[in-house]
A and B are shown apart, each in its own frame.
Chain A
Amino acid sequence: MPETGNALEKPRVGLFVTCLVDSIRPNVGFAALALLEAAGCTVEIPLAQTCCGQPAYNSGADDATKPLARAVIETFEPYDYLVAPSGSCAGMIKAHYPELFADDPLWRERAEKLAAKTHELLSFLADLRGFRPRNVLCKATAAYHDSCSGLRELGVKAQPRALLDAVEGLELRPLEGEETCCGFGGTFSVKYSDISAEIVGEKARNVEAAGADLLLGGDLGCLINMAGKLRRDGARTRVFHAAEVLAGMADRAIGEEA
Chain B
Amino acid sequence: MTAPAQDFHTRVEKALRDPQLKIALERTTGNARRKRAAAVAAWPDFEAARAAACAIKDHAIEHMATYLEMFENNARASGAQVHWARDAGEASRIVIDLCKASGAKVVTRSKSMLGEEIGLPHALAEAGLRRVETDLAEHIIQLAGETPSHIIWPAAHRTREDVAKLFDQYHHEKPEGHDVVSMVASARKELRADFFTAEVGISGANFLVAETGAICTITNEGNAELTTTPPRVHIVTAGIEKIVASTEHALQLTRLLVRSATGADLTQYTTFHCGPKRAGDRDGPEEFHIVLVDHGRTRMLAEMPEMLRCLRCGACLNHCVVYRAIGGHAYGGAYPGPMGSVLTPVFDGLEQSRDLPAACTLNGQCKQVCPVDIPLPTLLRHWRARSFRAGHEPKAVSLAITIWAFFAARPRLYRMAQAAALPALRLFAKGGWISSLPLGSGWTATRDFPKPPRQSFLAAIRKGATR
Contacts and interface: CB of A to CB of B under 8 A. Distances in A.
A51 B404 CA distance: 10
A141 interface: no
B381 interface: yes
A71 B447 contact: no
Contacts of A255: 431-433, 448, 450-451
Interface string B270-303: 0000000000000000000000000000000000
A196 to B, nearest CB: 8
Contacts of B384: 58-60
A23 B411 contact: no
Given A30-B457, A61-B388, A192-B359, A228 B447 contact: yes
A194 interface: yes
Contacts of B363: 148-149, 152, 181, 185
A196 B443 CA distance: 9
Chain A CB within 10 Å — which of B405, B411, B435, B451 has the most? B405
Chain A CB within 10 Å — which of B321, B445, B453 has the most? B321
B422 A60 contact: no
- Give the interface size bracket for A toward B: 35 or more
A99 B409 CA distance: 20
A183 B321 contact: yes
A59 B401 contact: yes
A60 B433 contact: no
B368 interface: yes
Interface string A176-204: 00011101111111111111111111100
Contact of A152 (B365, B431, B445): B365
Given A180-B321, A255-B451, A61 B457 contact: no
Nearest to A190: B442
Contact of A26 (B359, B397, B447, B460): B460
A142 B294 CA distance: 53
A51 to B, nearest CB: 5
A153 interface: yes
B144 interface: no
Interface in A230-255: 231-232, 249, 254-255
A55 interface: yes
A249 B401 CA distance: 34
Contacts of B393: 59-60
Q: Is the interface of B mostly helix, strand, loop or mixed?
A: helix
Interface in B420-467: 422, 431-433, 435, 440, 442-443, 445-453, 455-458, 460-462, 465-467
B70 interface: no
A51 B415 CA distance: 12
Nearest to A59: B401
A55 B403 CA distance: 12
Interface string B315-330: 0000001100110000
A65 interface: yes
A57 B377 CA distance: 13
Interface in B140-170: none
Contacts of B389: 60, 62
Contacts of B381: 57-58, 60
B220 interface: no
A199 B325 contact: yes
A256 interface: yes
Contact of B418 (A23, A224, A249): A23
Interface string A148-186: 110011000000000000000000000000011101111
B414 A61 contact: no
Interface string B30-54: 0000000000000000000000000
A227 B450 contact: yes
Interface stretch (A14-22, A108-116, A121-129): A14-22
Interface string A1-43: 0000000000000000101011111110110011000000000
Contacts of B326: 195, 198
B448 A197 contact: no
A21 to B, nearest CB: 6
A48 interface: yes
Nearest to B390: A60
A24 B361 contact: no
A104 interface: no
B266 interface: no
B362 interface: yes
A22 B456 contact: yes
A88 to B, nearest CB: 10
A65 B448 contact: no
Nearest to B461: A45
Nearest to B421: A23
A210 interface: no
A185 B111 CA distance: 35
Contacts of A50: 407-409, 411, 414
B226 interface: no
A132 interface: no
A199 B462 CA distance: 39
Nearest to A153: B364
B457 A183 contact: no
Given A30-B467, A34-B467, A194-B16, A56 B401 contact: yes
Interface string B382-397: 0111111100010001
B436 to A, nearest CB: 11
A239 to B, nearest CB: 9
Interface in B321-353: 321-322, 325-326
Interface in B247-269: none
A228 B321 contact: no
A149 B364 contact: yes
10 contacts: A22-B418, A55-B404, A59-B384, A60-B385, A60-B389, A193-B442, A193-B445, A199-B322, A228-B448, A231-B447
Q: Rank and list the top 5 A-B pairs by shortest CB-CB distance, nearest first.
A: A185-B361, A193-B442, A60-B384, A60-B388, A228-B447
Given A21-B457, A29-B457, 17 more contacts: A22-B456, A23-B422, A25-B450, A47-B461, A59-B393, A61-B385, A148-B362, A148-B363, A152-B365, A185-B360, A192-B359, A195-B16, A227-B450, A229-B447, A232-B435, A257-B431, A257-B432
Interface of B: 12-13, 16, 321-322, 325-326, 358-365, 367-368, 378, 381, 383-389, 393, 397-398, 401-402, 404-405, 407-409, 411, 414, 418, 422, 431-433, 435, 440, 442-443, 445-453, 455-458, 460-462, 465-467
